[in-house]
Amino acid sequence: MKTYFLALLSLIISCSANAAGQHLNYELNGQPYQGYYISPSTNAPLVLLIHDWDGLTDYEVTRANMLAKIGYSVFAADLFGAGIRPTKMQDKRQHTGELYKDRTKMRNLLSRALDTAKAQGANTNNTVFMGYCFGGAAVLEMARSGTKAKGFVTFHGGLSTPKGQNYSQTQGKLLIMHGSADTAITMNSFAALATDLESNGVDHEMITYSGASHAFTVFNSDRYREYADKKSWQRFTDFLSEVTQ
């Protein structure tokens, strides 16, 4: 694992030398938000990256820089608000719970993030949404909304379909990557989503990783599983090459 982290550090340093990221302030309904944008070239495909329930932290910035290194523009959106980066479990549940209860606000925040990226010159006609944990659930919200995108990708994300929603309007292929040892979002939820997608004729690919629990991609955590992180990241980057122009 040490070798992998050294290689990752080298990648990030190299990326920063070629493309400079910036934190961007934007608003929705008078409330401030702060995302992170990086673009290696004009007209590069865009990845709209959605954070987990910690809010937008250095983890998402690291992932954004990794994607920029291989040729993608990235806007890491902020769904909680500028300066709101919860560290206590109670606060994390509060902020995610508020958005789960207000799906319209969640969709509006994601749309506003996409508009913010567009204002920076991002190619929003060639976009993939991707997210981690809570961010994965937000990505699926956009897929169900009928938002036009090349793809929707989740890493150990929330998979349940809210009552009254479905995937009949989905535009774009789905890639779902999940740990089969995840006790927070079980394989029953995984199977239910597969059935839902198939019944709605949605182009999808769903992958599980044995022994991987929830949050298996989070560096330096006790849940991190290097093999699952590396394999899922490779599949994600291959997916980007397949669906973007």
Q: In angstroms, rounded to a whole number, what is the distance separating the alpha carbons of residues 3 and 222?
A: 18
- Write down the pLDDT at residue 5: 46
Q: In angstroms, rounded to a whole number, what is the distance separating the alpha carbons of residues 236 and 196?
A: 22
Nearest to 56 by CA among 30, 26, 29: 26
Domains, the chain, in order of start with CATH, read 2-243 (3.40.50.1820)
pLDDT, mean of residues 141-145: 98
Q: Which residues are 209's β-sheet partners?
A: 179
Q: What is the pLDDT of residues 181-207, one digit of tens each?
A: 999 999 999 999 999 999 999 999 999
Structure tokens at 45: 């495909």
pTM of the predicted protein model: 0.92
CB 182 within 8 A of CB 214: yes
Is residue 103 pLDDT above 90, yes or no?
Answer: yes
- Write down the pLDDT at residue 19: 77
- Write down the pLDDT at residue 18: 55
Structure tokens at 144: 């169900």
Is residue 11 pLDDT above 80, yes or no?
Answer: no
Q: Strands 171-179, 123-132: parallel, antiparallel or unpaired by DSSP?
A: unpaired
- Write down the pLDDT at residue 16: 42
Structure tokens at 62: 């690291």
Structure tokens at 245: 């122009």
- Write down the pLDDT at residue 219: 96
pLDDT, mean of residues 199-219: 98
CB 50 within 8 A of CB 139: yes
